[in-house]
Amino acid sequence: MIDFSLRFAVFLGVLSVLLLWQWRRPRGPLIQWRQRWRHNLILLFIGAACVRIVQPLLLSIVALLSQGLGVFSLLELPFWLIFLLSILLLDCVIYWQHRLFHRVTFLWRIHRVHHSDPELDVSSAVRFHPLEIVLSLCIKAMVIGVFGIPLEAVLVFDIVLNASAMFNHTNARLPVSIEHSVQKLFVTPDMHRIHHSRDNLEANSNFGFFLSVWDVLFMSRRGCALDGDEHLKIGLPDTKTYQPMSFKEVLLMPFKIVLKHRN
Ligand SMILES: [Zn+2]
Ligand SMILES: [Zn+2]
């Protein structure tokens, strides 16, 4: 079973380092952090509870149905290669899942909770509606079953994905001297900020969470904001100033029409 304590220890370690980074070298002021942190932390606890309940159940069903069969089991490959391919495959699936959540209307209504954060910082990485977390677990379980992905790879990928999501939402920026080189392989805060723009064109780019290669390969990469980073407006796409005012509003976002605030 997925090792909860290892995941939790790495989560706390990475969180502490990134909090220190954004506290000592903030990219910009965080004016609404109190309300945002309250909403994001409640979502974190609900999401963690969903994972604790749903994930073991899904993995048991997958193990029962696939009985060790799967694309990787049929290929006679060494374990290290299966492990590496599994990480790449899982990250590619997350990329396409993210694109799908932007493309399909009812999925977008769920995913827009993530985009309704009016500022970005490390807490934004956990701002996902419980429905998105459960759907994401189902998609992952399907991929694990079809490909026969080893559970060690699932655990490592979960840890890496969580750490990189926290990293690329941090309210800080890498030194200019290394930003360009890091972007060639990994998603950076500079890249992911563009995905959180209120401008639809920018929000429909840079879908990656861990490796940046998928955006290059599938032509969704945007190197810089249309009007420059200093004019980038963070928030729900297609709205000018909208932001949920209560946690109830955050939770009900998938079921409500969000009014466009044009002023
Ligand atoms: Zn998105
Ligand atoms: Zn994000």
CA 192 / ligand 1 centre spacing (Å)? 9
3-state helix, strand, coil in the chain (%, to 5): 65, 0, 35
In the reported structure, the alpha carbon of residue 115 is separated from the centroid of ligand 1 by a whole-number distance in angstroms of: 6
CA 234 – ligand 1 centroid, Å: 12
Kindly give the distance from the C-alpha atom of residue 168 to the centroid of ligand 2, in angstroms, as a whole number: 8
Nearest to 193 by CA among 164, 163, 224: 224
What is the band of 221 on the pLDDT scale with cuts at 50, 70, 90? very high
d(CA 204, CA 206): 7
How far is ligand 2, taken at its centre, from the CA of residue 194, in Å? 9
Q: What is the whole-number distance in angstroms between the Cα of residue 74 and the centre of ligand 1?
A: 35
In this prediction, residue 259 carries a pLDDT of: 61
> If you average pLDDT over residues 16-42, what whole number do you get?
94
Residue 102 has pLDDT above 80, yes or no: yes
CB 158 within 8 A of CB 2: yes
| Nearest ligand atom owner, CA of 123 | 2
User: b/e for 168-202, b at 16 or more Cβ within 10 A?
Assistant: bbbbbbbeeeeeeeebeebbbbbbbbbbbbbbeeb
Ligand 1: centre distance to CA 66 (Å) = 31
Question: What's the 81 CA to ligand 1 centre distance in angstroms?
Answer: 30
Question: What is the rounded CA–CA span in Å between residue 42 and residue 247?
Answer: 8
Q: Tell me the CA–centroid distance for residue 61 and ligand 2, in Å.
A: 30
pLDDT reading at 65 higher than 90: no
The DSSP code for 190 is H
Percent of the chain with pLDDT over 90: 75
Whether the per-residue pLDDT at 185 is higher than 80: the answer is yes
**Nearest ligand by distance to the CA of 94:** 1
Q: Which residues pair with 211 in a beta bridge?
A: 186
